[in-house]
Amino acid sequence: PIVSGTILFTLLVIFIISFILQYRKAQDRFTAEKDQLKQALLSAEIEIKEQTLVHVSREIHDNFGQVASLIKINLNLLSGDLSQEDRQKVNESLGLIRQLITDMKSLSRSLNGDSLQTIGWLNALEIEGARINRLGSVQLTIQVEGDPEEVGHEEQLMLYRMVQEILNNLLKHAHASIATLTLKCQNGKLEMRYRDDGKGFDLKESKLKEGSGLVNMQERCHQIGAEFVIESTPGHGTRIEIKT
């Protein structure tokens, strides 16, 4: 009886251990499948957003750009039969139209991720920086160490979109006078640091807002497996670090 009891106890222990191991394997498999599904949904969402931006970019280039060009042609035709005063007004309008066409082309390129392969994402960032500085409300400095073009195309696109998000927040919310964006690339890995002297914000409040720029940046970082760190408090500016 003692031997039989020992055997039964041993079998029971083996059964329990086997059950626990199988349960853990099933749980790990479920967690992995859940993460894969979440990643797939995130990739699909980002792809839809990217395709929407490409569509808007083409609409700006093909439709609005053509309309602006036609207005420019019509103004040129009018200028010959006008008084000196009216001709001056037409010339001023032509200058505004030329600036509008330039800005629309720049906006179209910035929205279309495919253009990064043509002009390079570093050039695209410099164009964005020049656009910010032309506005005159804030002085943005972009510093580069190494060769950012070593980063893969998908990472380039995600990082470029995150910089656009950062610069959009800089213009709309930061109320900063000075901002610095530093890119450091080595062995295909990139470290991006951003800092401004703006009014800062409450991180907890921002994280609660669905569709906020902060949430978008976190999603894009997750997509490419990058680390994302942000520090900001009201009255003390904002600091962001992204590492691939």
DSSP of 69-110: HHHHHHHHHHGGGS-HHHHHHHHHHHHHHHHHHHHHHHHHHH
Q: What is the mean pLDDT of residues 217-242?
A: 89
Least confident window among 33-37, 90-94, 213-217: 33-37
Residue 12 lies in a domain: no
Asked if residue 235 is part of any domain, the answer here is yes
Mean pLDDT check: name the lowest of 31-40, 65-74, 88-97: 31-40
Same domain, 104 and 145: no
Average pLDDT for 56-73: 72
Per-chain mean pLDDT for the chain: 79
Q: Say what percent of the chain tops pLDDT 90.
A: 15
Residue length, the chain? 244
Report the CATH number that the domain containing residue 151 is assigned in CATH: 3.30.565.10
* 168 located within any domain: yes
Per-residue pLDDT of 7-21, as tens digits, reads 777 777 788 888 888
Contact, 53 vs 111, CB < 8 A? Answer: yes
Can you give the pLDDT at residue 43? 62
Please tell me the predicted confidence (pLDDT) of residue 208.
47
Per-residue model confidence (pLDDT) at position 37: 67
- The Cα–Cα gap between 220 and 161 comes to 8
Q: Residues 6 or more apart from 145 whose CB is under 8 A from it?
A: 182, 183, 184, 185
The structural domain count of the chain equals 2
**Of the residues 51, 84, 112, which one is the last residue of a structural domain?**
112
The C-alpha atoms of residue 34 and residue 38 are separated, in whole angstroms, by 6
Residue 94 reports pLDDT greater than 70: yes
Q: Write out pLDDT tens, residues 74-86.
A: 777 776 677 777 7
Same domain for 141 and 230? yes
pLDDT tens for residues 176-212? 999 999 999 888 889 999 999 999 988 877 664 555 6
Domain span at residue 53 reads 41-112
Interval 113-118 mean pLDDT: 69
Shared-domain flag, residues 174 and 100: no
pTM score, two decimals?
Answer: 0.60
CB count in 10 Å sphere of residue 119: 12
* Cα–Cα distance for residue pair 192/128, rounded to 1 Å: 16
Average pLDDT over residues 166-178: 88
